[in-house]
Amino acid sequence: MKPLHIFLAIVLLALVPWLLDSQYVFHIATMIAIMVPMALGMNLMLRIGQLTMAMPAFMGIGAYGSALLAIRLEVPPLLALPAGALMAGVLAAAVGPVFLRIKGVYFVLLTYAFGQIINLVFQEWTGLFGGNNGLYGIPKFSLFGLRLTATPQYYLMGLLLAALVYLAVRAIERSDIGAIFQSLNENEMLSRAIGSNAMAWRIAAFTFSALAAGLSGGLYAFYIGFLSPDAFGFRLSVDLIVINAVGGVHSALGPVLGAILMVPLPEMLRDARQYQLLIYGLSLMVFLIFIRKGLASLIQRPRSAA
Amino acid sequence: METLLDVKNLTRRFGGLTAVSDVSFSVAKGEIFGIIGPNGAGKTTLFNVIAGHFKPSSGSVHLAGQDISGHASDAIARRGMARTFQSVHVFSEHSTQENLRRAHVIGRSHNPLAYFARLARPCFGCTQLPLVAQFVGLTDHLQSPAGSLAYGLQKVLGIGMAMMVSPQLLLMDEPAAGLNPSEKKAAGVLIRRLRDELGITILLVEHDMPLVMGVCDRILVINRGKPIALGTPGEVKSDKSVIEAYLGEDYEFA
Amino acid sequence: MLEQILVNGLLASLIYVIMALGFTLIFGIMRIVNFAHGEFYMLGAMVVLFLFGALGWPFYLAVIAGGVVSALLGVVLERLLFRPLVGDELSGMIMSLAVGIILQSIALIAFGPAEQAMPRPFSGTWSLVGAAVPWDRTVVAICSLLILAVFYLFLKYSRLGLAMQAVAQDPQTASLMGIESGVVYAAAFGIACLLAGLAGGLMAPIYTVGPYMGELPMLKAFVVVILGGLGSLPGAVLGGLLIGLSESVLTTAFNSTAALIASFVIVLLVVITRPTGLLGRSTR
């Protein structure tokens, strides 16, 4: 199937909720749309050869950040959402120079520990984040005075954000930035010998992924209206890995496809969580077995420039 | 003559082993400078310290008056010192043309800020590509995947890529390694032309005597990490300590 | 007060050491970060819940059975799923994620999400230098020390143990010397799962048994191993003691979440400054 066909199929799928006009379908579609920016952010990191488990942490910061700005400081949601994402981006830019010196498995473990710390802080600092009981009272999103209360409206917002991030990643992929990322991934020593500041580019990718996650988080906060720390835990990292593995790592369409395929499962099986887990685990395992070269070399063997 | 590279008392230790010991020399602008020595003499380590892969244990390296000792290899490259590799390092799955293009892109946009700053500006170097390809003799191979080129041509591509970032000083790590005799001859010619026609200063580390003797203006000989001779090819060839160091090795001082 | 903290810390650290040993064994020999380690712990506990709690088997026998079941499953999974991925750190890790999720979901499906209590084989406390030591934890401690001793002897004096050490240090030379890596991998994974299963079985009556019970011990093992050095057995012991003690101090001073945060901060600092940990060797 040519990428164009897949793209068109996805566009058509995006219209399905209006055809079916079901509240439930809209909800699932919105959740897919919320996941897409994060999955794309993760994908960008994978393209530079790093598996990051910090995405849930950045999503959480975007979510809690936007929510708290709207609740405590009465910042209009239209500003609060990007502000929350910006907070995530700033944190990434701050820890990036330290974290990104580490590569491979150790980087994974590092971001895993980082994610756990942030999550535990969400749990512990009940005064600010509401702890395990959750943060309530997030106002509805309002756009120039129009309050968004219906799911289809949030779906539209989700589509907008997803499209934005998708286009950004696509642009990066096709531009010289994509060529630079590829070069760094294929042969970092050579790239640096010609003068590429590998560290700066990695920090940029990391910050971008955090911004995307922050956007996802902000939208999630306003959509659901309530936040609890277990939405931003290790499980989410695994979900993102599964989404990217199943959807495909090499193009920006991959994570989108992966999200469409994998996100409905936990929503539909909300009462049968164990089966959702089983399917996720099996999908991952099937992927690892049949794509025999393994995820790592997939990451390191990008398609040649078209 | 203006000094471009100044190495002072450079020492590099690895645990108990001193690979490079108190090496000093300077390379003038427009010179072709060679570093030779028997196997295990420490040439590669010396090269890698200058190129920024290792920090010196003591001593300093100055490029055009600026201290670059211990700086990262990419920072040094941005200051005008490019390097080529002993074994082949190219983006093998991409075409020769793409390789050269990438070298230019990478050099021009070394970090995201530089990328966005340059987006609006016209690309002066973009016209450079065919000229570089012609200079190194790769015009006929531009569309071939770099990995499919003959070994010698891949090494030449490496040189071409270094040229795309317009270096002042080109560090060459055993340019003749892996080449057959006619390729070696061609390499020598190319090195000369880099200096004669483009004014690039060259520092090379090499095993191949005929090449070094034929191409270099001055040569530094090191043995067991220590400098033992520095001078023109003629001076070095007849230097007693140099001959001694190489005794037992099958070298022909051409 | 101090004595209580010390005693608590020591008791906790012994189980961490057992878990960490298995975790680091797998990494040292196969270079796989086993995110499913907690699930083998859970499996051991489930077996004890069933055999001792439901069927009334003698406690120690049930624990051993738990260890054996975990070990057997581990060997099978190693042969089928992990062996093709030896050396590919990233894929091995992701595979272990998949295995962990699947095992957890099977447990969820079979037992439901609720945690279950079981009859306690030991109760009461005794006094050690002024600190109250629960008998059940004492039994765990003594058994842990026994397990450690047996493991140490195995590693030092058995052919298989020596072969494992050889493969951990230099797999190529080891194979040149005729050591069959496949056997070593199976043994390493099996023993690691045995250790996890025994740990889970021993700890089963202490708290409750549930499908998620392996998550926390795995986290602890992870922290211990990073601190001690991925692949280092003495590191696992040292790390276990340090983490157990520091955790005890912090839990008493603040609460258990603070202790956990501190543990992860330690991980962060270690990976950034000295990835090989306290006693680990640098990667090849």
Are residues B50 and B130 both part of a single domain? no
pLDDT for position C172: 76
Q: How far is CA B206 from CA B198, B221, C129, in A?
A: 22, 11, 72
Which pLDDT band, with edges at 50, 70 and 90, does A303 fall under? very low
Q: What is the pLDDT of residue A299?
A: 46
Query: Mind listing the domains of chain A with CATH numbers?
Result: 3-300 (1.10.3470)
Shortest Cα distance, chain B CAs vs residue A303, angstroms = 9
Same domain, B140 and B208: no
Q: Which of B243, B175, B163, B159 is nearest to B214 (CA)?
A: B175
Lowest mean pLDDT among A39-43, A229-233, B61-65, B120-124: B120-124
pLDDT at A250: 80
Chains contacting chain C through 3 or more C-beta pairs under 8 A: A
- For residue C258, the model assigns a pLDDT of 86
- Asked, for residue B85, whether it belongs to a domain, the answer is no
- Residue A302 pLDDT greater than 70, yes or no: no
| List of chain A residues whose C-beta atoms are within 8 Å of the C-beta of residue C94 | 241, 245, 284, 288, 295
| Residue from the list C104, C222, C265 with its beta carbon closest to the beta carbon of A277 | C104
Could you give the CA distance from residue C36 to residue A82 in angstroms, rounded to a whole number?
A: 37
**B82 at interface of A, judged by CB pairs closer than 8 A:** yes
Q: Which pLDDT belongs to residue A199?
A: 92
Q: pLDDT-based confidence at C232, cuts 50/70/90?
A: confident
Range with the poorest average pLDDT among A198-207, A281-290, C32-41: A281-290
Predicted local confidence at residue A122, as pLDDT:
93
User: Same domain for B133 and B186?
Assistant: no
Residue A306 reports pLDDT greater than 70: no
Q: H/E element holding B226?
A: strand B226-231
Residue B242 pLDDT greater than 90, yes or no: no
Which chain A residues touch B115 with a CB distance below 8 Å?
A: 176-177, 180
pLDDT at A280: 85
Q: Give B248's pLDDT tier (boundaries 50, 70, 90).
A: low
Flag whether residue B226 sits within 8 Å of chain A, measured between CB atoms. no
Alpha-carbon distance of C196 to A51, in angstroms, equals 27
Cβ neighbours of residue A188 closer than 8 Å, sequence gap 6 or more: A198
Q: How confident is the model at residue B249 (pLDDT cuts 50, 70, 90)?
A: low
What integer is the mean pLDDT of B240-244? Answer: 83
Minimum CA–CA partner of C230 in chain A: A106
Return the partners of chain A (3 or more C-beta pairs < 8 Å): B, C
Mean pLDDT to the nearest integer, C123-135: 78
Q: Give a yes or no: residue B30 inside a domain.
A: yes
Kindly state whether residues B102 and B215 are assigned to the same domain. no
Residues 133-172 of B with CB under 8 A from A: 145, 161-162, 164-165
3-state secondary structure chain A: CCHHHHHHHHHHHHHHHHHHCCHHHHHHHHHHHHHHHHHHHHHHHHHCCCCCCCHHHHHHHHHHHHHHHHHHCCCCHHHHHHHHHHHHHHHHHHHHHHHCCCCHHHHHHHHHHHHHHHHHHHHHCHHHHCHHHCECCCCCCEECCEECCCHHHHHHHHHHHHHHHHHHHHHHHHCHHHHHHHHHHHCHHHHHHCCCCHHHHHHHHHHHHHHHHHHHHHHHHHHHCCECHHHHCHHHHHHHHHHHHHHCCCCCHHHHHHHHHHCHHHHHCCCCHHHHHHHHHHHHHHHHHHCCCHHHHHHHCCCCCC
Distance CA C138, CA A113 (A): 31
Is residue A298 predicted with pLDDT exceeding 60?
Answer: no
Distance CA(C159)–CA(C165), nearest Å, equals: 10
My answer on whether B191 and B149 are in the same domain is: no
What local confidence, expressed as pLDDT, does residue A1 receive? Answer: 57
Contacts of B93 in chain A (CB under 8 A): 186, 304
pLDDT band at A304 (very low <50, low <70, confident <90, very high): very low
List the single residue in C with minimal CA-CA distance to A51: C90
In the predicted model, what is the mean pLDDT of chain A? Answer: 86
DSSP state of B88: -
For A113, name the nearest residue in chain C, comparing CA atoms only: C264
**Inter-chain residue contact B94 with A194, CB threshold 8 Å:** no
Q: What is the model's pLDDT at position A128?
A: 86
| Same-domain check for residues B178 and B152 | no
pLDDT exceeds cutoff 70 at C284: no
- The yes-or-no verdict on residue C56 having pLDDT over 90 is no
In a mutagenesis test of the A interface, which of C271, C282, C284 is the best target, namely the one with the most A β-carbons within 10 Å?
Answer: C271
Is B71 a member of any domain? yes
CA dist., res. A287 & res. A295, Å (int): 9
Does the structure show a pLDDT above 80 at A69? yes
Final residue before a domain boundary, out of B119, B137, B166: B166
Determine the Cα–Cα distance for residues A78 and A147; give it in Å rounded to an integer. 11
Residue B70 or residue C191, greater confidence: C191
C270, closest residue in chain A (CA to CA): A110
Q: How confident is the model at residue B251 (pLDDT cuts 50, 70, 90)?
A: low
CB–CB contact A109 C84 (8 Å): no
Is the Cβ–Cβ distance between C18 and C147 less than 8 Å? yes
Residues B184 and B65 in one domain: yes
Its domain, for residue B229, covers 1-80+169-254
- Please tell me whether residues B64 and B174 are part of one structural domain: yes
Query: Shortest CB distance from C260 goes to which of A109, A120, A292?
Result: A120
Could you say which of B101, B132, B166 is where a domain stops? B166
pLDDT in tens, B19-47: 899 999 999 999 999 999 888 788 889 99
Q: Which of A159-168, A281-290, B81-90, C207-216 has the highest mean pLDDT?
A: A159-168
| Contact C/A (≥3 CB pairs under 8 Å) | yes
Give chain A positions within 8 Å (CB) of B113.
200
Query: Which residues from A are below 8 Å from B146, CB to CB?
Result: none
pLDDT tens digits for C130-146?
777 888 888 888 899 99
Provide the CATH number for the domain around residue B189: 3.40.50.300
**Is position B87 within any domain?**
no
ipTM of the complex: 0.85
Residues 139-198 (A) with a CB less than 8 A from some CB of B: 176-177, 179-180, 182-183, 186-187, 189-198
pLDDT of B148 above 60: yes
Closest CA in chain B for residue A303: B93
Q: Kindly give, in sequence order, each residue whose CB lies less than 8 Å from that of residue B162, ignoring residues fewer than 6 positions away.
A: A193, A194, B82, B83, B84, B103, B170
Please state the pTM of the whole predicted model: 0.88
For an interface test with A, the pick among B92, B102, B126, B163 (most A C-beta atoms closer than 10 Å) comes out as: B102
Instruction: Determine, for residues B165 and A194 on separate chains, whether the beta-carbon distance falls below 8 Å.
Output: yes
A241 and chain C: CB distance < 8 Å anywhere?
yes
The verdict on a CB contact (< 8 Å) between B73 and A192 is yes
Residues of C in contact with A280 (CB under 8 A): 101
B121 and B191: one domain? no
Residue C234 contacts A, CB cutoff 8 Å: no
Nearest partner of B218 among B198, B195, B240, judged by Cα: B195
Quick check: is B217 in a domain? yes
Per-residue model confidence (pLDDT) at position C115: 82
Q: Which of B82, B106, B162 sits opposite A180 (nearest CB)?
A: B106
Domains of chain C, residue spans? 2-112+129-273
A261 and chain C in contact, CB less than 8 A: no
Residue of C nearest to A131 (CA): C257
Provide the pLDDT for residue A301.
Answer: 41
Shared-domain flag, residues B67 and B177: yes
**Interchain pair B51, A200: CB under 8 A:** no
Q: Which of B141, B166, B191 is the last residue of a domain?
A: B166
**Lowest-pLDDT range of A132-136, A245-249, B245-249, C41-45:** B245-249
What is the per-residue pLDDT across A150-161, written as a single tens digit (0 to 9) for each?
888 889 999 999
Q: Measured between beta carbons, which residues in chain B are less than 8 angstroms from residue A211?
A: none
- From residue B133, how far is each of A305, B100, B111, C252 by CA, in Å? 20, 8, 26, 71
C109 touches chain A (CB under 8 A): yes
- What SS3 state is found at B175? coil
Report if residue B86 sits inside a domain. Answer: no
For the domain spanning C2-112+129-273, the CATH number is 1.10.3470
Interface residue C102 vs chain A (CB under 8 A): yes
The residue with greater pLDDT, A186 or A248, is A186
Number of domains chain B contains: 2
Of C91, C97, C102, the CB nearest to A282: C102
Mean pLDDT of C180-197: 90
Is a pLDDT exceeding 80 seen at residue C186? yes
Q: Are residues B101 and B181 in the same domain?
A: no
Neighboring chain A residues of B94 at a CB cutoff of 8 Å = 304-305
